[in-house]
Chain A
Amino acid sequence: MLKSVFYFVIFPGFLFTAVVGLLVSWIDRKVTARVQWRVGPPWWQNFADFVKLLGKETIIPQGTSRFHFITPPLLSISAITLVSTLLWVMLINPHKSFLGDLIVVVYLLMMPAMAVVMGGAASGNPLASMGASREMKLVLGYELPFVLALIVPIIKTDTIRLGEMIRFQAEDGVVIGSWSGIIAFLVAIVCMQAKLTLVPFDIPEAETEIMSGPYIEYSGPALAMFKLTRAMMLFVLPVFLVLVFWGGFGQGSFWSVLLGILKYVVLLVVIVLIRNTNPRLRIDQAMRFFWGLVTGVATLAIILALIGA
């Protein structure tokens, strides 16, 4: 029991994920700044922002349901913490895997987006409800290809246990070693960008259109929770993709762990690159993109996987 609490709260759960998440979002900010000929913030900037927000007041708009306004930030942060705990426990010790944990993770990864929809709709601001409706559409858009893409590693490794996936890939080669695997991986990267709501899919919070959308009425610790969730997702989602498609972070030896970190960094660089070389799409364009091209490609990957390519 005490061990589970330790797992959840300290390592590899909340504290670990939060600290690493804030650090990697600093990398994102710094690299973005350098790409844009700016200097960028110091490494502790995100921590300072977070602590500052904690000290502020959470204003609950008049006529808002208190419960529905306050729950979403907590919901999203606990969901992402749970994902991180599950992933890392399995990465460190694949034997702890249980049947269907992949499905649990996919389900939990959707919670932050759902929380944003709920909080945005609850706040009663027209811009927030606009953002919430966009977020809802975006979720509908990317979940289908995301799940389709995840079917490919399931076919390849013939299991829905994350631990088994790691073991299989350690023995028989990584999923992205095959054509179907690499196609599915690319699809998953695009969906990950949307899950992170980064450009070109930052449609729900489009600063210059609807001023942060769902977050507009949030302040203080509640906003801090949302921001922290975003930072943690930037850490957790690539780790999830590395685990499922790229054989995890390796065990034991220093070099395999370093290789694992390198895999994560490659994904982070891809995210930052996409984010800095694209304008924002319109929501209808994003939907057409996900349900048309991306779903089509994902289906192709499944067919290839079934015929063994």
Chain B
Amino acid sequence: MGNRTVIPIGPYHPLQEEPEFFRLWVEGETVVDIDVNIGYNHRGIEKLCELKTYDQIPFVVERVCGICSTSHPLAFVNAVEDLADIEIPERARYIRSIIAELERIHNHLLWVGLAGHFLGYNTVWMWAWRYREPVLDILEKITGNRQNYAMMKVGGVRRDIEDADIPDILRLVDDLVPAVDMFKGAILDDPVLHARLKGIGVLTKEEVHNYGAVGPTARASGVAVDVRRDDPYAAYDLVDWDVVTQEEGDVFAKAVVRVLELYESVKIVKECLERLKKTKGEIDVKVKEIPSGEGIGHAEAPRGEVFHYVRSDGTNRPIRHKIKSPSYTNVPTFKATVIGGTISDATITLAAVDPCYSCTERVAVVDKKTGRRRLNGEDLVRLSQEKTERIKRSMGL
């Protein structure tokens, strides 16, 4: 038994720009245990959504995450359309896919840059972010914003893509391919990067299932989950594309999945734009009212599946809105990947799932006097059982 030291990563640390707190118990350089603590930035979005109308909520959930700022609204409108049984026009479906894929491209480039930064490879960081700029330019051209595009609405999209703009956009998208080729060469063929990333933070197939990991994290371990294919929304069942998977499950495989997904995304964007030229018609349908009931919607955010649940009582606001972001299941996989590695590996392993903490924030109620957590899992089970008993009694069972 060696000497255990606690190495803190966070709550404020140059590793990631969000408040998060990892306690690494280390013996020498080896990590023997990890404790993940988040919740520094809880904003009560779900509660806020219950106070907003269906038209306002996309703007709120857009701000759940700065990077997945179209995946959350997309999952939300999917949920409401599921609830109210709304068919959206084909044109709107293409536009939704275009925005979502452009978001994926800029997110993956962002991740490549950050991963470089975490490894001390600042040139990759700056270069990746430089080539991310044209993507943001395209998004600004289409939506008017670099982030928080405000494109999704229940029943369609808010802005159309003009036919006259399509050649310009296509040219910008085509220009991305050489840049992606360059990153593919620079990252996937660099022997030093191989030494740093291969065999590090391995997540096995079984662990993916146990932790419920999603997105590139799961796909890098050979689990081909992708909401875009498994439960198509927007235009993903109308265009031709592949789910990228790798078998190894290490950090390198996660990088490979993301880089190869860039090509798929470019392919989807281009095909959607071509089809958009030939598809005429409205970009939205008029939604008169939302019936009572419940709906679920999900979308494949760059980091994995975003899940939204909406329950309506027939008014213009939901009475419950539940959000599950991908990091919620991806972050606990650190238990499986970080322990046993070194501190140097820990930082890149933590980054490899592309975690987003503010999306994942949950709140805990602590009794100030006793320091005990109130409303923990056991309490909730007890409350639910009591309620069942009450209902049973009232029904005379």
Q: Which residues of B contact A210 (CB under 8 A)?
A: 7, 343
Q: Output the least CB separation between B259 and chain A (Å).
A: 16
Q: Which residues of A contact B121 (CB under 8 A)?
A: 199, 278-280
Q: Which residues of B contact A133 (CB under 8 A)?
A: 28
Q: Residue A167 at the B interface, CB < 8 A? A: no
> Interface size class for chain B?
20 to 34
Q: Residue B119 at the A interface, CB < 8 A? A: yes
Q: Residue B374 at the A interface, CB < 8 A? A: no
Q: Output the least CB separation between A139 and chain B (Å).
A: 16
Q: Which residues of B contact A280 (CB under 8 A)?
A: 119-121, 196, 344
> Interface size class for chain A?
20 to 34
Tell which of B52-60, B123-131, B158-166, B287-295 binds the partner.
B123-131
Q: Output the least CB separation between A31 and chain B (Å).
A: 11
* A207:B120 contact, CB within 8 angstroms: yes
* B5:A277 contact, CB within 8 angstroms: no
Q: Output the least CB separation between B262 and chain A (Å).
A: 20
Instruction: Name the residue in A35, A200, A203, A209 with the highest tally of chain B Cβ atoms < 10 Å from its Cβ.
Output: A209
* B126:A36 contact, CB within 8 angstroms: yes
Give Cα distance in the complex from A182 to B347, angstroms. Answer: 38
Q: Output the least CB separation between A289 and chain B (Å).
A: 9
Q: Residue A283 at the B interface, CB < 8 A? A: yes
Q: Residue B1 at the A interface, CB < 8 A? A: no
Give Cα distance in the complex from A279 to B117, angstroms. Answer: 9
Q: Which residues of A contact B190 (CB under 8 A)?
A: 279
Q: Residue B397 at the A interface, CB < 8 A? A: no
Q: Mark A27-53, 1 if CB is under 8 A from B, else 0.
A: 000001001111000000000000000
* B196:A281 contact, CB within 8 angstroms: yes
Q: Residue A206 at the B interface, CB < 8 A? A: yes
Which of B5, B8, B196, B343 is A279 in contact with, Cβ under 8 Å? Answer: B196
Q: Residue A126 at the B interface, CB < 8 A? A: yes
Which of A32, A209, A211 is B344 in contact with, Cβ under 8 Å? Answer: A209
Give Cα distance in the complex from A281 to B348, angstroms. Answer: 12
Q: Output the least CB separation between A173 and chain B (Å).
A: 35
Q: Output the least CB separation between A233 and chain B (Å).
A: 19
By secondary structure, the B interface counts as: helix
Known A208-B117, A208-B118; judge A36-B123 contact (CB<8 A): yes
* B123:A277 contact, CB within 8 angstroms: yes
Which residues of A (269-296) have their CB < 8 Å from a CB of B?
A: 276-285
Q: Residue B6 at the A interface, CB < 8 A? A: yes
Q: Residue B235 at the A interface, CB < 8 A? A: no
Q: Residue A127 at the B interface, CB < 8 A? A: yes
Q: Which residues of A contact B123 (CB under 8 A)?
A: 35-36, 276-277
* B342:A284 contact, CB within 8 angstroms: yes
Which residues of B (22-58) have their CB < 8 Å from a CB of A?
A: 26, 28-29
Which of A276, A279, A285 is B119 in contact with, Cβ under 8 Å? Answer: A279
* A283:B29 contact, CB within 8 angstroms: yes
* B13:A211 contact, CB within 8 angstroms: yes
Q: Residue B193 at the A interface, CB < 8 A? A: yes
Q: Which residues of B contact A285 (CB under 8 A)?
A: 195-196
In the complex, what residue of chain B is closest to A289 when comparing beta carbons?
Answer: B195
Give Cα distance in the complex from A199 to B124, angstroms. Answer: 13
In the complex, what residue of chain B is closest to A211 when comparing beta carbons?
Answer: B14
Q: Which residues of B contact A202 (CB under 8 A)?
A: 120
Q: Which residues of B contact A108 (CB under 8 A)?
A: none
* B14:A279 contact, CB within 8 angstroms: no
Q: Residue A130 at the B interface, CB < 8 A? A: yes
Q: Which residues of A contact B29 (CB under 8 A)?
A: 130, 283-284
Give Cα distance in the complex from A126 to B344, angstroms. Answer: 15
Known A36-B127, A126-B7, A211-B14; judge A282-B118 contact (CB<8 A): no
Q: Residue B365 at the A interface, CB < 8 A? A: no
New A-B pairs, 7, CB < 8 Å, besides A130-B7, A209-B344, A282-B345: A32-B122, A207-B14, A208-B118, A208-B347, A279-B124, A281-B192, A282-B342
| A-B pairs with lowest CB-CB distance, top 8 | A280-B120, A36-B126, A279-B119, A279-B121, A282-B344, A276-B123, A208-B118, A208-B15
Binding site for A on B (CB under 8 A): 5-8, 13-15, 26, 28-29, 116-127, 130, 190, 192-193, 195-196, 342-347
The contact sample of 17 A-B pairs, CB cut-off 8 A, is A36-B123, A37-B130, A129-B5, A130-B29, A130-B343, A199-B121, A207-B14, A208-B120, A208-B347, A209-B347, A210-B343, A211-B13, A279-B121, A279-B192, A280-B121, A281-B196, A282-B342
